[in-house]
C-alpha cells in the first residue's frame, strides 16, 4: 500500500459488553466482552506498601473496577432516558 502522506484514522475500537472484573495478583482487570483489558486498578494489602506506592486497598480497587465495569450498562440507561425525553419534548411541541 502506497503512503499517500495522509493520516488515516483507525476505525473506532468497540468495547463490547458485558464488562467483567477479574482479580489478578495485586490488581483488578476490567475486561470487555471479548476478554480484552479495558482498565486496571491496583491494590496492596500491606499498609506500608500502600503508603510507599500510593496504591489503593483491595476493597477500594475492587469498588472502582466494579464502577468502571458498569459503564456500558449506564450508557444504555442514559440513552434510553434521552430518547424518552426527546419523545416527550416532541409530544409537547405537537401540542
pLDDT in tens, 39-83: 999 999 999 999 999 999 999 999 999 999 999 999 889 989 998
Q: Which residues contact 58 (CB under 8 A, 6 or more apart)?
A: 43, 45
Sole residue written with cell 503508603: 51
For residue 11, name the pLDDT band (cuts at 50, 70, 90): confident
What percentage of the chain carries pLDDT values higher than 70?
Answer: 96
| pLDDT tier, 88 (very low <50, low <70, confident <90, very high otherwise) | confident
Mean pLDDT of the chain: 90
In this prediction, residues 27-33 reach a mean pLDDT of: 98
Q: What is the predicted pLDDT for the residue at 84?
A: 87
Where are the domains positioned within the chain?
20-94
Amino acid at each position: 500500500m502506497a503512503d499517500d502522506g495522509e493520516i488515516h484514522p483507525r476505525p473506532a475500537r468497540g468495547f463490547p459488553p458485558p464488562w467483567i472484573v477479574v482479580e489478578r495478583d495485586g490488581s483488578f482487570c476490567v475486561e470487555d466482552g471479548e476478554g480484552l483489558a479495558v482498565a486496571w486498578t491496583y491494590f496492596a494489602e500491606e499498609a506500608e506498601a500502600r503508603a510507599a506506592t500510593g496504591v489503593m486497598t483491595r476493597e477500594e480497587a475492587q469498588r472502582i473496577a466494579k464502577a468502571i465495569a458498569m459503564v456500558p450498562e449506564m450508557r444504555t440507561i442514559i440513552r434510553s432516558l434521552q430518547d424518552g425525553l426527546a419523545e416527550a419534548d416532541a409530544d409537547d411541541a405537537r401540542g
